[in-house]
Structure 1
Amino acid sequence: MLRWLIAILFLANMLAFVVMRGVFGPTPTAGGREPNHLIRQIHPEWLKVQPVASSDAADQPVVGGPAPAAPIAASVLPQ
Structure 2
Amino acid sequence: MLRWLIAILILANGLAFAAIGGVFGPTPSSGSRETQHLSRQIHPERLVVKPIRPSESADMPRVGGPVAEPAVQASALTQ
* TM-score normalized with structure 2 length: 0.49
Tell which has more relative contact order, 1 or 2 (C-alpha 8 A, sep 6+).
1
Write 1 or 2 for the structure with the bigger share of helix: 1
* TM-score normalized with structure 1 length: 0.49
